[in-house]
A and B are shown apart, each in its own frame.
Chain A
């Protein structure tokens, strides 16, 4: 199939761009994106650390008293809303810990006037 017969898949981006003109929408999108990025980063960091240490998912599951399938599902987004106690236990089992890191305030940040951004990080 030539490029000319490929479908136009730009609607999602065009719709997002149009909706972002609404400040309330933009605020909600950016806040959600930050939260998602933090969660994703923590889970991926844990998985990378596990790989670096040469620990299988099954072994990690044993270390935190979970079954292997639940840990496998966690690392492949097949389980929603990972619980903080489990995340903390996984970090501990990998010789790491979770921390909340205060970020420098960005004057343009919509939250700069009422709270400071905080981010959880996995620190070996």
Chain B
């Protein structure tokens, strides 16, 4: 289970009793690549559109409330702390988009360069139906996430 960052899981949007929408940001690597956008750009248009619709729904009604039409899921075990969007394409091809939550105190969010909580989209992967991702695939996702979380302010695509 990955360790939590300072200020994580502090429901800043609920402190005032109001449910504020979150932002959606895309992690950028040190060498300027944006893995999630590279993945989305390579997805069939329908899948790209569905991912956007789920992200928008979750950003509009962020966790812990139910949102995302059942396509947004908290991950477990080695991927604890991560969320994934799970979509099925033609031929039952499986598409996954891996996200982290940027939810913290206002001060901590400001340190990350964020005005309000956000969904950080880190990377995506696809696989044929009834197959599984290798542990090294998940490890690569976690490495990207660790790189994202080490950055102050966050390094995101603009």
Contacts and interface: CB of A to CB of B under 8 A. Distances in A.
Interface in A12-70: 12, 15-16, 19, 22, 24-26, 28-29, 32-33, 35-40, 43-44, 47
A80 interface: yes
A1 B110 contact: yes
Contacts of A19: 45, 48-49, 52
Chain A interface, >50% SS class: helix
B26 to A, nearest CB: 6
29 contacts: A6-B114, A11-B156, A11-B158, A12-B24, A12-B52, A12-B55, A15-B37, A16-B52, A16-B56, A19-B45, A19-B48, A19-B49, A22-B45, A25-B48, A29-B50, A29-B52, A32-B49, A36-B54, A40-B66, A43-B66, A44-B65, A44-B66, A76-B65, A77-B67, A77-B72, A78-B74, A79-B70, A80-B71, A81-B71
Q: Which 9 A-B pairs have the closest CB atoms?
A: A36-B69, A28-B49, A32-B53, A12-B24, A29-B49, A1-B110, A7-B113, A39-B69, A28-B46
